[in-house]
Amino acid sequence: MDLVVVHGGAITKRYYEPLAKRLAGRVNVHLYNRRGREEAGPRPPGYTIDDEIADLAAVLERTGARSVLGHSFGGLVVMRAALELPLDAIVLYDGTVNVDNVFPVRSGHSEALTGPDRV
């Protein structure tokens, strides 16, 4: 199984290296830095959650993974990505809560993630 980890806002992929080592041999954990962190390069002006989804899609395509773990703001990215990308499984860890639509995501994401064809 391949798993991509989408990190939160105040950390980098290094935070998840111990997890990747622990799961080695059972799960291929793919870590990447979101834009604005370390070698990932800067976020351009106007960078949005749609750009985050496009970056995640590129990582999924390159790795072949269809399972994603999102932590903190990465959880919000993963929830939104689940509406648009062919994912088999998502794991949310301490995901960001979108109060008063502070981080604009499409309405209906909760229903889409919990509908009759989702477990």
Residue 107, pLDDT score? 52
> What are the pLDDT digits (tens) for 3-29?
999 999 888 999 999 999 999 999 999
Q: Structure tokens of 2?
A: 């391949």
Q: Is 80 a member of any domain? A: yes
**Is residue 11 included in any domain, yes or no?**
yes
Confidence bin at 41 (pLDDT 50/70/90) = confident
The answer as to whether 90 is a domain residue is yes
Question: What pTM was estimated for this model as a whole?
Answer: 0.79
Q: For residue 119, is it within any domain?
A: no
Q: Indicate whether 106 belongs to any domain.
A: yes
pLDDT-derived band at 116, boundaries 50, 70, 90: low
| Count of domains for the chain | 1
Give a yes or no: residue 68 inside a domain: yes
**H or E element that contains 60:** helix 49-63
d(CA 80, CA 51): 11
Helix, coil or strand: residue 29: strand
**CATH number of the domain within which 84 lies:** 3.40.50.1820
Backbone angles phi, psi at 26, to 5 degrees: -115, -40
Tell me how far apart the alpha carbons of residues 117 and 102 are, in angstroms, rounded to a whole number: 29
Residue 85 domain-assigned (yes or no): yes
pLDDT tens figures, 62-73: 999 999 999 999
The CA distances from residue 10 to 14, 31, 56, 73, in Å, are 12, 15, 18, 9
Structural domain containing residue 91 = 2-114
Predicted pLDDT of residue 105: 52
pLDDT at 109 over 80: no
DSSP label of 95:
P
Assign 3-class secondary structure to 30-41.
EECCCCCCHHHC
